[in-house]
Copies of this chain bind each other. A is one copy, B any other.
Amino acid sequence: MTDTRDFDRETAVTRKPGEPSVYDTELHGSWKVGMGVNGGLLLSVAGRALAAELGAGPDGHPDPFAISAYYLSTSTPGPATVSVETLRRGRTVSTGAASLIQTDEDGVPVERLRAMATFGDLDDQTDDIRTSAKPPQLPPPEECVGTESAPAEFRAQSPLLSRVELRLDPATVGWAVGAPSGKGEIRGWFRLPEGREPDPLLLLLAADILPPVSFDLGIYGWAPTLELTVHVRAKPAPGWLRVVHSTRNFAGGYLEEDAEIWDSADRLVAQSRQLARVRLPE
């Protein structure tokens, strides 16, 4: 059987004829997790429309340096449009905003997310790297826990799990058997099963692909994202990515979730933070 999974095709945007800066896209049901389409996938789609706009031309800025999304309503599989507004075109970086919109069953447009981003050219950055963060130590992927080990019921709710190769450090999956560490950290390997190598757009997906870090605190509820910001700091080398989710401030029914994404060359290629709401069991 041919592997028909294709991240690029399923995040593609096409310019809407006659409407400048408006792009059509189709959200694929296989990227659903729980109620809606995965927030990182939506960020990749918005990022692609922003790249089409800000990256165009010889002086264009093709790579996201910083991108922030505010999630407004639950995205559903099906058609969507992304409208891009260029806010500033500069020499080193350019900034834009993007609005992802779907129509509800009555044909009324509903905004799913609004994003802002500053794009540049990662190849233009200096070679001076003084990262003091240390790469995470994980057992090799073959000794980690794959999504195929997830309970059938959970897999059924999360078709997304079959779209990605995700292998979690056994030291951070105690929550899956009712023994969360309480530390607020989940580590794992991530790549696409179709063999497509990582690039800046894939890092936007990777920033929100691990299970909610609240699971490691023993909170198993849905953790909807209010806001997610990703800083892409370098083009990732080919191969597996390592993603570390952590939180230090679970309070008042909300938590921050930080992600660090490391590539196969031990470079910290992206950092992200989100604010998520967590529902405590009654």
Contacts and interface: CB of A to CB of B under 8 A. Distances in A.
Interface of A: 65-66, 68, 70, 72-73, 87-88, 92-93, 95, 97, 111, 114, 116-118, 122, 125-133, 183-184, 217, 226-227, 229, 231, 233-234, 247-254, 256, 268, 271, 273, 275, 277, 280
Contacts of A233: 249, 251-252, 254, 256
B70 A87 contact: yes
Nearest to A267: B251
A184 B130 CA distance: 11
A86 to B, nearest CB: 11
A104 B158 CA distance: 51
Given A72-B88, A87-B111, A256 B229 contact: no
Instruction: Pick the most buried of A73, A183, A184, A248: most chain B CB atoms within 10 A of its CB.
Output: A248
Instruction: Pick the most buried of A66, A217, A247, A248: most chain B CB atoms within 10 A of its CB.
Output: A66
B251 A93 contact: no
Given A252-B128, A253-B128, A229 B231 contact: no
Contact of A68 (B116, B122, B184, B256): B116
Instruction: Pick the most buried of A93, A114, A184: most chain B CB atoms within 10 A of its CB.
Output: A114
Contacts of A129: 251-252
A256 B275 contact: no
A146 to B, nearest CB: 28
Contact of A114 (B66, B97, B234, B280): B97
Contacts of A70: 66, 68, 87, 95, 116-118
A273 B273 CA distance: 8
Instruction: Pick the most buried of A97, A126, A249: most chain B CB atoms within 10 A of its CB.
Output: A249
Contacts of A93: 226
Contact of A249 (B65, B68, B268): B268
Contacts of A247: 132
A275 B231 contact: yes
A132 B247 CA distance: 8
A97 B69 CA distance: 12
Contacts of A275: 65-66, 118, 231
B130 A250 contact: yes
A203 to B, nearest CB: 14
A53 to B, nearest CB: 15
A111 to B, nearest CB: 6
Contacts of A88: 72-73, 111
A111 B88 CA distance: 8
Contacts of A252: 122, 125-129, 233-234
